[in-house]
Chains A and B, each alone.
Chain A
Amino acid sequence: MNWIFEPWPWYIAGPMIAFIMFLLLMMGKSFGMSANLSTICTLCGAGDKVAFFKLDWKSQKWNLIVVLGAVIGGFIGANLLTTDMAVAINPETITDLHALGFKSAGTSYLPLKLFANNALLSAQNIVILAIGGILVGFGARYAGGCTSGHAISGLSDAQLPSLIAVIGFFIGGLAMIHILFPLIF
């Protein structure tokens, strides 16, 4: 049973994601996580001011329960199923990240510089995290989906729009890491 405490290889994780999509399809739903961000806006009353958020949130309750499960799953994964939180990324990537000032590369799950609890004491870090979040939320709704809705569900259904979106994800991600990172960090 020790394997369960080890990081899961891609050939376990990928089929598992496909299985999750299968379960949601069989429940008569579809797999898409960013829709929940929209539902949260509706729950906060955004529908009164902005027509885009005018919807019956109850029709999306199932998806909110899925993400509640994702929170619980994160707790279980981190606290009960993991003994060593270090992520064994490529040693070259580690060297790279050390040079950028990410000293925790290779020894932690997330960079401590940005995600340790005391990172919240730095205004600069909060701005970086907030900009990242705003871009993800804005982009996901603009593109009509995120990694789950486009890269997994959309590509599985051979949707051309999803392929365009995924190409966009990569253009954005590559630009951030190769061009903007050296300027930000």
Chain B
Amino acid sequence: MRTLVYLCIGILFGITMFKSEAASWFRIYEMFKFEAFHMYGIIGSAVTIGVIMVQVIKRYQIKSFYGEQINFYPKTKSFNRYLFGGIVFGLGWGLAGACPGPMFTLIGAGFLPILVVLLAAVVGTLLYGVLKDKLPH
């Protein structure tokens, strides 16, 4: 049952990524050119609603569908890893025009070359795991 719910959430996410064109390389390029409001509108409105949502969940201690407490895990305090990691990610996001979620969406949409990007992203993840202790965090 839970599996089916996760699958449906994923399907909704995939459809949203594709139909909003957030999975389009062109939209990412346009965003970094500051030539349209579209992507800023998507992220901005999602975050605005998200902030309110998280506050409401925390304040009223809303329980999950299964009656459990909803936990928010604060990220470890640091500066370097977020800035350097973020810059590396941004370079890739601009070049490949897809972040991890849309990569999966584009496979379903039938663009074969995105498989190269996804495979390389797995390799990149592996590379981080290997080099982790040598990097400033």
Contact = CB atoms under 8 A, between A and B. Distances in A.
B85 A7 contact: no
Contacts of A27: 2, 5-6, 9, 64-66
B128 A137 contact: yes
B132 to A, nearest CB: 6
B94 to A, nearest CB: 3
Contacts of A26: 64-65, 70
Nearest to A100: B29
A110 B64 contact: no
Contact of A73 (B3, B16, B53, B98): B16
B105 A71 contact: yes
Interface string B52-82: 0110010000001110101011111111011
A17 B11 CA distance: 12
Nearest to B50: A156
B113 A71 contact: no
Interface in A106-163: 109-111, 114-117, 119-120, 125-126, 128-148, 150-162
Interface of A: 7-28, 30, 33-34, 36-38, 40-41, 44, 46, 50, 52-53, 62-63, 65-79, 81-82, 87, 89-90, 92-93, 96-97, 105, 109-111, 114-117, 119-120, 125-126, 128-148, 150-162, 164-178, 180-181, 184
30 contacts: A14-B49, A17-B16, A17-B42, A20-B16, A27-B2, A66-B13, A67-B10, A74-B106, A76-B14, A81-B18, A92-B35, A109-B24, A110-B26, A115-B106, A132-B117, A133-B119, A134-B92, A136-B89, A138-B128, A140-B121, A146-B101, A152-B47, A155-B47, A155-B51, A161-B75, A161-B77, A165-B82, A168-B83, A172-B87, A173-B94
